[in-house]
Structure 1
Amino acid sequence: MGDAGSETPWPWPEYTREEGELHPDNAKIKKEIAAEYGEENLRRSWIQVCKMLEAVTKEIREKGSSMIREFSYDDFFTMNKADKEEVKRRGCVVVRGTIPTETAEGWFQWMQKYMQDNKGVITGWPKEQPYILQLYWTKAQVEARTHPRAMALQRAIISLFHDDEDLEQSFAAPMAYADAMRMRPPGNSFTGLGPHIDAGSLCRWGDPAYRKIYEKIWQGRPDEFDAFDFTWRKRGDPAYYPGSSQSHVVRAFQGWTALSPTAPHEGSLQLFPDLKAGIAYVMLRPFFRPPGNLGDVLDAEKWSLDLDDPWFPGVWRHTPQVLSPEPFPHLRLKETMTYIPEMKPGDSVWWHMDMCHAVDVEHKGKDYAAVVYGAATPTTEMNARYMKGQLKDFLAGVSPEDFRGGCFEGGLKGFPGESAILNGEEGKRAFGYYL
């Protein structure tokens, strides 16, 4: 767990109404949803979800990091039904030995040399000492996306979803979506990636297709919400409100593969390990106003429906959803943000696109905390359109559309180009060559 109690200092920003986005259209969105599904159904869901979170908080306190299931690479493919349902309930999983250890360590060594050979040219975040690097086409990244074991695992993860319009699961063929990588040195503090949920923010309510994903929640039946129904999810547009931080693809699960050892307090990852309760609460929270007496704030019955307030907590329409304890009290984030287990080179971690996650503030380890980001990205019409453009960017050696602004990678010493694509025709297909 986050070694936390209610008195634990909160290291990340709080998100209050005073600094929130109070666009007049926001209240219209709330009223549209309430008119379509009924105010009483919203209230019914609110009460039920807050009760669910009481049990979730208790379980996380007791079990901590053991809530996050771990499987060996081979065992992941032979999970029984109960294990599969547990992974879906948690919305996250660690897969040991996704990449052979010596391969992952080789990528790490290669990256260290690549950074040295191109010192002063590679850009990243934070600017003063970049370690979330604006690199997308290195040998380590391209090989990690197209390694046969990685692609097989991505397909298996995407196959956890179902689609009423695609019973053969053709959507499960993984696409090689390009993301950044992290080479974080020890000894620094970083508060730039506190608890958040990717795949947009206001679009979850504002985009009619995205909104449809959460219909069971709006209908007062949150226990029936299926986060793995892909029928409408493939249509939900995370860039419905365009912005520099928005993705133009639907990523079923986010993920990364470790290139170096990492552990809690060593630049690792924290998750809120209950998918359904977490996202249901986030979706309902904007509709309700807390009681005037702070002592009653955890009593869901004393919250009142408010459709006139334009504030969506933690939402700026052009950025991902962010969370903090004050506006989301029932999540008990100080107690429930849970460290993933210790990771070794080649291990990977995966979390559902609706899952709250955060990057460790501290790195008290002795070496780089190095990871390659790589999402389990399904084949959809929206994603195929993006991948056509991404392939052009790759061949030109420039940053992809979702991450404009990096250096000209095609001019870096050691730039590998197409030679880094593994897995033959399947790897090239994942990169968009045959679209």
Structure 2
Amino acid sequence: MLNIRIDNIGESIKTTKRAMRAKLQDLKKIMAEVEDDLKREVEVVANARAKGGNTVPIIEYQDIVDEKVTEATKAELRRRGVAVVRGVYPKAEAQAWNDELGEYLAKNRYTERKPAPKVKDEYFSKLKSDKPQIFGIYWSKPQMQARTHPHSARTRAFMNRLWKFEGEGKKYFDPDRETLYADRIRRREPGDKTLGLSPHMDAGSVERWLDDEYQHVFRHVFSGNWRAYEPFDGAGRAETDEIPSPAVCSMFRSFQGWTALTPQGPNDGTLQVMPITKAMVYLLLRPLLDDVPEDVLCGAEPARAFSIEPEWHPLLTPALSSIPHVEPGDTVFWHPDIVHSVEDEHRGQGYSNVIYIAAAPYCAKNAAYLAKQKEAFLSGRSAPDFSAEDYEVDFEGRATAADLTELGKKQMGLQPW
């Protein structure tokens, strides 16, 4: 049950901030330490980028299979919160999916259909730029094949295991069983100059301060013991509540992510990240300082993406880095607390296309969402978290339950594990 009062959110914010400040008697001293630590991390990232080095860890899918990913690499993955995994899918298979998606959209005249959403999607309305070229389809055969591919399951299990997924006699989630979170696709044309996304964070905005479980997730930060905060501690993560809104994810995603269908990299209108997981400490404490109005959470507003703004978060700006070049079949993952954006301009020569595929390990929260999502799948309606455009209800060639493998049926909630 949602424990946030949204009828008078301003008063809730004021009350919560007062209570948090009362527990942080040395807030200015703590914030000075946090800022010093963050400046060093930002400098590491900015220097690596300036020298042409990697700001995002890169690993090979085959090293996951062969269990050759070193502990040092895993530590860097946890520090950065972002990973490029090379070769999760065969390149030719990913290229074939790209072609098939184009045919699926053309055959069903996607661009000629303009259904009126039952609920307007304003999730990104406060961000500087508009939405990228995102297509509101969920149930094409390439999407379902990619999501339920055994290589993807193997990769997501590896990523899930970067987390602490059990403790104090409780299993927070099952890292080896995946649930399927149906998201959309991006097909961005070269030359596009208007369809980026400014820096933001998903997985809750005001909830990160106001929700009881999120307060538990960030308990060390809000108690002043910020150095004890562990971004990959799963305690409470799968029990948070979100304010409902189109495009607000109501599943627990251990990592957001996408699979490349075309070659893309810096300047191709693609993903940018601020690869510092502990930047969350700075973002959480910033609204508690004296220069912030009492009812303001520095870019966090109900039912919106958490916007990272120069006015409030200048220390983070130099860390914004484009992902390295990827090929079809490579995947990109980023922790739910990682600030990310999409380049405003696509300066490349070819399409910048992806299928969004997150890691969503099995837990009670995700199983509950599957019960709603599988009904949308069977009828061709839009996935429950998204605006009810329902493009695919009468689309020819969309995936059906008969197209799913045994693994896919389990991930989709159509068959028990």
Query: TM > 0.5 between the two?
Result: yes
Query: Which of the residues 16, 19, 23 maps onto 1:32?
Result: 19
Contact 1:159 1:169 in 2 (8 A): no
**Within-5 A mapping of 1:142-291:** 142-162=144-164, 163-164=166-167, 165-166=169-170, 170-237=174-241, 239=242, 241-276=243-278, 278-290=279-291
Contact 2:401 2:409 in 1 (8 A): no
Residue 46 of structure 1: CA displacement?
1.4
Contact 2:382 2:391 in 1 (8 A): yes
CA distance, structure 2, for counterparts of residue 110 and residue 413 of structure 1: 13
Structure 1-normalised TM-score?
0.84
Is there any run of 5+ residues in structure 2 with no aligned partner, and where?
Answer: 1-7, 116-120, 125-129
Pairwise CA RMSD: 2.3
Q: Secondary structure at the match of 1:230?
A: coil
Query: Which of the residues 276, 299, 304 maps onto 1:314?
Result: 299
CA pair 225-365 structure 1, distance change in 2 beyond 3 A: same
Contact 1:270 1:338 in 2 (8 A): yes
Residue 319 of structure 1: CA displacement?
1.2
Amino acid in structure 2 at the alignment position of 1:63: A
Amino acid in structure 1 at the alignment position of 2:246: S
Residue 121 of structure 1: CA displacement?
4.4
Q: Secondary structure at the match of 1:234?
A: helix
Q: Write the deviation string for residues 108-156 of structure 1: whole angstroms up to 9, x where unpaired.
A: 0101111211223456999x99820000111111111101101111111
CA distance, structure 1, for counterparts of residue 36 and residue 71 of structure 2: 27
Aligned to 1:81: 71
Q: Write the deviation string for residues 4-46 of structure 1: whole angstroms up to 9, x where unpaired.
A: xxxxxxxxxxxxxxxxx982221111123234xx122544431
Aligned to 2:55: 67
Residue 48 of structure 1: CA displacement?
1.6
Is there any run of 5+ residues in structure 1 with no aligned partner, and where?
Answer: 1-20, 291-305
Once the two structures are overlaid, the 10-residue window that deviates more, 315-324 or 393-402, is 315-324
Amino acid in structure 1 at the alignment position of 2:101: M
Contact 1:122 1:407 in 2 (8 A): no
Number of residue pairs aligned between Structure 1 and Structure 2: 389
Contact 2:380 2:392 in 1 (8 A): yes
**Within-5 A mapping of 1:329-368:** 329-331=314-316, 333=317, 335-368=318-351
CA pair 430-406 structure 1, distance change in 2 beyond 3 A: same
Residue 282 of structure 1: CA displacement?
0.8
Once the two structures are overlaid, the 10-residue window that deviates more, 341-350 or 424-433, is 424-433
Q: Secondary structure at the match of 1:364?
A: coil
CA distance, structure 1, for counterparts of residue 358 and residue 183 of structure 2: 8
Contact 1:245 1:320 in 2 (8 A): no
Residue 242 of structure 1: CA displacement?
2.3
Contact 2:131 2:197 in 1 (8 A): no
CA pair 72-336 structure 1, distance change in 2 beyond 3 A: same
Contact 1:95 1:348 in 2 (8 A): yes
Contact 1:253 1:352 in 2 (8 A): yes
State whether structure 2 residue 99 is matched by structure 1 residue 109: yes
Aligned to 1:328: 313
Structure 2-normalised TM-score?
0.88
Contact 1:104 1:346 in 2 (8 A): yes
Amino acid in structure 1 at the alignment position of 2:48: K
CA distance, structure 2, for counterparts of residue 220 and residue 74 of structure 1: 42
Q: Secondary structure at the match of 2:239?
A: coil
Contact 1:177 1:377 in 2 (8 A): yes
State whether structure 2 residue 125 is matched by structure 1 residue 132: no
CA distance, structure 1, for counterparts of residue 240 and residue 105 of structure 2: 37
